[in-house]
Amino acid sequence: QAHLDRIAAVDADIHAFLHVNAGALDAAAEIDRRRAAGEQLGELAGVPLAIKDVLVTTDMPSTSGSRILEGYMSPYDATVVARSRAAGLVPLGKTNMDEFAMGSSTEHSAYGATHNPWDLDRIPGGSGGGSAAAVAAFEAPLALGSDTGGSIRQPAHVTGTVGVKPTYGAVSRYGAIALASSLDQVGPVTRTVLDAGLLHDVIGGHDPHDSTSLEEAWPSFAAAAREGARGDVLKGLKVGVIRELPDAGFQQGVAESFRAALAAMEAQGAEIVEISAPHFEYGVAAYYLILPAEASSNLAKFDSVRFGMRVDVPGGTVEDVMAATRDAGFGDEVKRRVILGTYALSAGYYDAYYGSAQKVRTLIQRDFDEAFAQVDVIATPSAPTTAFRLGEKIDDPMQMYLNDVTTIPANLAGVPGISVPSGLAAEDGLPVGIQFLAPLRQDARLYRVGAAVE
């Protein structure tokens, strides 16, 4: 009830939610009944959970921020939603996002922008700005997001929250409306690293419904976070700093906060090691070919027949109806990427664009392999700037894309990443995050290190 009251009080200004769960109080009462009956429930039983609208739910519409899916009701729950319900978490509602998770500001939602609770004139990050804003504004204690190129970590950075992109395959993508299937990962958005670990423990692990799900015996990430908060895990930890990510590209307060965080880690016994990742600078270019290519294919299913809206064209052909529906149902950014993707995949251009991008992807994976032969984790600022103003980059896709420079490499390589608050930028008083990256499957290391520095 407290969270519903908070939503009623502030969400008209923030617009984190696209839909509030009318059944939330009943679901909470059911948890109370089960507890009263003596059932042993997990640590998160009864805790409300905000769910990014990219994740399908049976009891609330799932739109992925798109007009084309307005009012769409899924016949099944995403695995992460089903697991959350089974653990007693109470779905609080569906959160706003850039359409089909394309964006870094949540301004590309078909349902209006979300506002950053720290400053309502600024963006809450994207694509998962709704989840991050809901958590930052105390509308929800926990949220789920999805991260294809930074959509969990960058919103965490600009809202002073914690966001985790797990190892590719660590958390099921079943029921996450696909953006780019080789890059998408679902993960937690929370206010503390421990909260993220608790939620990751609930949603993670093998899922036979997802063919890329890892069959791995994962350790408890909550236990890792508790260990990090308690112990001296920073002593002797080798932290890699990337030589080629120059300070120059970062806002002054972001660079200062990053240096201060590193100095604090050093004071606690960490060793800062300069490493080279020469191909990271090509990450954005490779990503913005691979992602549109995969997205153009994934979005082909919105054909006016199987899902969502249909625009009738009297006397028109099936193709006419499809074209009219996609024209009316998709926003500009989605159209831009579908066109880019189909172009990059077309005969004659495939090798030059998509093929080259895949080679860059391999080179970035090798950069990570070489780096992790020398260090335990890599640290970067989570994004180049603090929250920018709503409208500032909306007409300049290149500026919007460049915002993802630090987050994209992890998705291209599949490695896990976390963004943890590292203070406020001196010049604007807005939150800054520090990102840690770890080798594939070493997600627990991120929870230990993240909890040690938060």
Catalytic residues: 52, 127, 151
Is there binding between residue 136 and ligand GLN (CB under 6 A)? no
- Residues in a beta bridge with 380: 435
**Beta carbons within 8 Å of 148's beta carbon, 6+ residues apart:** 101, 127, 179, 180, 183, 184, 185, 291, 411
Find the shortest distance in angstroms from Cβ 404 to ligand GLN: 5
Q: How far apart are CA 330 and CA 334, in angstroms?
A: 6
Find the shortest distance in angstroms from Cβ 284 to ligand GLN: 10
In the three-class reduction of DSSP (H, G, I as helix; E, B as strand; rest coil), residue 442 is classed as coil
Find the shortest distance in angstroms from Cβ 418 to ligand GLN: 15
Is there binding between residue 148 and ligand GLN (CB under 6 A)? yes
Among 139, 210, 376, 404, binds ligand GLN (CB under 6 A): 404
Distance from the Cα of residue 279 to its chain's centroid: 23
Can you read off the two tokens belonging to residue 230? 């308690």
Question: Of the listed pieces 17-25, 146-154, 372-380, 431-439, which binds ligand GLN according to CB under 6 A?
Answer: 146-154
Task: Identify which of residues 137 and 405 has a Cβ nearer to ligand GLN in the complex.
Answer: 405
- Closest residue to ligand GLN using C-beta atoms: 151
Among 291, 299, 412, 437, binds ligand GLN (CB under 6 A): 291
Is there binding between residue 417 and ligand GLN (CB under 6 A)? no
Is there binding between residue 198 and ligand GLN (CB under 6 A)? no
Q: How far apart are CA 233 and CA 224, in angstroms?
A: 10
Q: What is the DSSP string of 242-271?
A: ETTS-GGGS-HHHHHHHHHHHHHHHHTT-E
Q: Are 321 and 304 in contact (CB under 8 A)?
A: yes
Task: Identify which of residues 183 and 237 has a Cβ nearer to ligand GLN in the complex.
Answer: 183
Closest CA to 5 of 110, 140, 126: 140
Find the shortest distance in angstroms from Cβ 446 to ligand GLN: 17
Task: Identify which of residues 103 and 384 has a Cβ nearer to ligand GLN in the complex.
Answer: 103
Q: How far apart are CA 275 and CA 366, in angstroms?
A: 13
Amino acid identity, position 315: G
Is there binding between residue 147 and ligand GLN (CB under 6 A)? yes
**Beta carbons within 8 Å of 128's beta carbon, 6+ residues apart:** 52, 95, 97, 101, 106, 143, 145, 146, 147, 151, 152, 155, 163, 189
How many residues bind to ligand GLN according to rule CB under 6 A? 14
Task: Identify which of residues 46 and 292 has a Cβ nearer to ligand GLN in the complex.
Answer: 292
Is there binding between residue 145 and ligand GLN (CB under 6 A)? no
Is there binding between residue 53 and ligand GLN (CB under 6 A)? no
Question: Of the listed pieces 98-106, 298-306, 382-390, 425-433, which binds ligand GLN according to CB under 6 A?
Answer: 98-106
Among 151, 159, 213, 304, binds ligand GLN (CB under 6 A): 151
Give the footprint of ligand GLN on residues 157-186 (CB under 6 A): 179
**Beta carbons within 8 Å of 19's beta carbon, 6+ residues apart:** 53, 60, 61, 93, 94
Tell me the angle at which helices 221-230 and 443-453 cross, rounded to the nearest 10 degrees. Answer: 30
Task: Identify which of residues 376 and 404 has a Cβ nearer to ligand GLN in the complex.
Answer: 404
Site string for ligand GLN, 99-128 (x = CB under 6 A): --xxxx----------------------x-
Q: Where are the beta strands (DSSP E) in 333-386?
A: 377-381
Tell me the C-alpha to C-alpha distance, in Å, between residue 389 and each of 118, 149, 257.
12, 21, 20
Task: Identify which of residues 132 and 452 has a Cβ nearer to ligand GLN in the complex.
Answer: 132
**Where on the chain is the footprint of ligand GLN (CB under 6 A)?**
101-104, 127, 146-151, 179, 291, 404
